[in-house]
Amino acid sequence: MRLTIHRGTHEIGGTCIELQAKNSKILLDFGLPLVDQNREPFDSDKIRNKSKEQL
């Protein structure tokens, strides 16, 4: 079994963890970061009612 942490090691929220065994993979806890790209506090109102394509 292999565990891969794709993001979120230095933050709370926004983690993405992958578990892989043989021919199977599962992604766990891929939520939103609590800060934006500029390291400003995350404002959920900016993304409310947007589709995943818009994000």
With CA atoms as reference, report the closest residue to 25 among 10, 7, 52, 3.
3
Classify residue 39 as left (phi > 0), alpha (psi -120 to 50) or beta. left
- Quick one: pLDDT at residue 3? 93
- Quick one: pLDDT at residue 4? 93
What does the radius of gyration of the chain's CA atoms come to, in whole angstroms? 14
Residue ranges covered by each domain of the chain: 1-26
pLDDT higher than threshold 90 for residue 45: no
Q: Is the pTM of this model over 0.85?
A: no
pLDDT higher than threshold 90 for residue 2: yes
Q: Which residue has the higher pLDDT, 33 or 48?
A: 48
Query: 4-23, pLDDT tens digit by residue?
Result: 988 877 776 778 899 999 99
